[in-house]
Amino acid sequence: MRIVLSGTGSAVGKTTISTGIMKALSKKFKVQPFKVGPDYIDPSYHTLATGTCSRNLDSFFMKEEQIRDSYLKAMEDKDVAIIEGVRGLYEGIDSINDIGSTASVAKALNAPVVLIVNSRSLVKSAAALVLGFKSLDPDINIAGVILNKVKNKDHYLKTKKSIEQLVNVEVLGGIKRDDSIAIEERHLGLVPAIEKENSLKYIDIWAKLIEESIDLDRLIEIMKTAPKITGKRQDIWSVKNKTKVKIAVAYDEVFNFYYKENLEGLKANNAKIKYFSPLKDNELPDVDGIYIGGGYPELFAKELSNNTNLLKQIKDFHLDNRPIYAECGGLLYLMNAISNYKMADIYPYKSLLTDKVQALKYTIAEVQEDNIISKKGEKFNGHEFHYTKVLVDEDDIKNKMAFNILRGKGSYNNQDGFIDKNTLASYVHTHIAALPDFASNLTISAKEL
């Protein structure tokens, strides 16, 4: 059983409603949550709601065959798949094709779609909106509608009647306007669930609201109509390393932006993952390589800077020519400083938090220098989103750059991927589906030392 929950645009309440449905259905079923697009934050709420790690499905990173393979592997012991879309149903990397859109994932999985509509001040116009979404692509099965931000019962019933009689699409329920259920946002979305002690309280509120407002039995019936997936499948990672290695992964309140498949790819390549906290641990685990993902180190800069022993050990690990791979937040941690707070000082540059977004885009990287995750001449897709910038003196650049950024911004001058010895740090977030040798190359780099 599966369903795609998609908005008609931004600010329609997709995450609140999707997470509430996940929590409500988890009381009866084993729910596997998914998120369309490059997102770490929404999946953190899905994971809390269901007790199952949410996974990303993205047609910019993945071929259709990889989307199906990732989905089916995740569903092996699950009953229900809830797939939260990204932005509007048809929004992708351009105005014509489906790449990067929720629609592309729905079609790859032949999944019915329930539209979430912000119905504030809309009645008959809501029917026109749904009709447009239904008519644009006949390969998309718009199987139902959920109305959000309804004023009262009368508003709901009028809008429901309009959609069902004029468009012949079933309305499964309506949720009244209630700003008190909104959780705070940071930078580019919801605050990561790992930071919020009261996240479960919010999720329980959302689930109760869903149970009171949505016909969940009918939603389940719609999910049962999804046909068996019979299309071709393709693995999302390669397996080339046969030697056991140990990889330290930074994971705590600061660093928690990782794609599950990246870590699974490391394990498939004989890596034993050892988690550590740059915020709380004084010593680095006994490992052969380090992986530092994204997060918000700029908000914990003072605390990270005070952990001088661990910073020194990471710098020494680098000086020993052992592999370190860092993305976005990890990049900042390896710089000389964040604002005036000293960091690992592997790269001699300072980083700053700015008032406006510096990059928010899908990226295409062309590898121009061999490194610990990729080889010269390769191209791979990724994404970048950050409010920080690295202050690089272009006249005095002391490090080679691994990537030429063909789409996106990068760290500076359309380049990214600072290289020094066997350390690589980049603003580009990598998904292993787009770089299948990522885990093989990183584990082999660790093995060879």
Torsion of Cα atoms, 243 then 256 then 60 then 34, to 10°: 100
Contacts of 420 (CB under 8 A, 6+ apart): 318, 346, 347, 399
Strands (E), 277-377: 289-292, 294-295, 324-327, 335-338, 341-342, 347-353, 359-367
> Quick one: which of 444, 383, 388 has its CA closest to 408?
383
> Quick one: which of 347, 326, 335 has its CA closest to 298?
335
Backbone φ, ψ for residue 196 (5° rounding): -100, 110
> Positive or negative, the Cα torsion across 399, 405, 408, 414?
positive
Q: Which of the following is catalytic: 111, 328, 364, 444?
A: 328
Residue type, 289: G
* Spatial separation of the C-alpha atoms in residues 370 and 367, rounded to whole Å: 7
Residue type, 156: Y
Catalytic site includes residue 53: no
Give the residue numbers annotated as catalytic, written as ranges: 328
